[in-house]
Amino acid sequence: MKSYKTLGTIISSLLLTASFQVNAATSIATQSHVFNVSSGTDSFTMPNINGASWVSESMGYQGWTHFSKWGFMDVTKGKTVTIVVDASASGSNVAGFHPGITVWYRKTNLKAASPNLQYMNDHSYGQSDSINVINAKDDSVPPVSVGNITMDYVASGYDTDGLGDKFMVDATTGMLKPHDGVATSFYGPYLPTGFNTTSLANAKKISDSVPGKVAVTFTATKAGVYQFVVGGLKPDAGSTAAINAGKGTGNVNAVNVSVTTN
């Protein structure tokens, strides 16, 4: 005799499986800073940002979690927030550094300073992707429950001033491609076909005529925690920012970050 599971039984089984699923979480506590955005401007010099961390060849052209820096802030609904990363000669003066920024809304009842928010789900991140991970636990012994890591993508952008071989998108495939089709750029064919770089392609290309400086602005549609990442991409060949870029070592770049609300 054949037996059939009812739809209700199947759904219950799936929910039970999901409730016991555990996902890894990786700590970013030592790379994080909480910004005060109640009013005015709060600035902080973020140390040791790798010159190829917001776009990393080592991470499949995604962002490199541990060699970027992370900001957290409690934002009131309706507030307009502007994040400025300035590695230019008039800012941090890190030669050859091109910054990128991504902002997410963190679905949580916690405050920005909570230790339980100082985690990401992976060693890499998509520059324009939302994140939804349930039942995350860190890899300590014994493991510590982090809860859900749910982050809605808000905005992203990167510095294109003086970038050299620009990011170009193939109109048919939507993939990024080498600027000249051959391996002559700083990291060889820096924008390879064959990698899913849609997330990067969706980021805003920002030009303010100042190489090394970029600003991203958003208006909070919800009150709560907003999380952002700061990293570098395509450092100028032979520059300070290019020292060991993409290798995760020699992170000598201390870059000024300011957050302004109104």
Query: Domain residues of the chain, as ranges?
Result: 22-162+205-261
What's the pTM value of the predicted model, to 2 decimals?
A: 0.83
How far is 147 from 170, CA to CA, in rounded Å?
A: 39
In this structure, are residues 178 and 194 in contact, taking their beta carbons and an 8 Å threshold? no
Among the four given CATH numbers 3.30.360.10, 1.10.287.3510, 2.60.120.1220, 1.10.3720.10, the one describing domain 22-162+205-261? 2.60.120.1220
Which residues, 6+ apart, have CB-to-CB distance to 231 below 8 Å? 49, 50, 53, 54, 55, 56, 63, 64, 67, 68, 69, 99, 100
d(CA 101, CA 215) in angstroms, rounded, equals: 8
User: Looking at 56-60, 110-114, 204-208, which range is the least confident one?
Assistant: 56-60
For the cut 50, the answer to whether the pLDDT of residue 185 exceeds it is no
Q: What is the pLDDT of residue 3?
A: 45
pLDDT of residue 177: 53
Tell whether the model's pLDDT for residue 21 goes beyond 70.
no
Check if the beta carbon of residue 217 is closer than 8 Å to that of residue 156. no
Supply the pLDDT for residue 189.
35
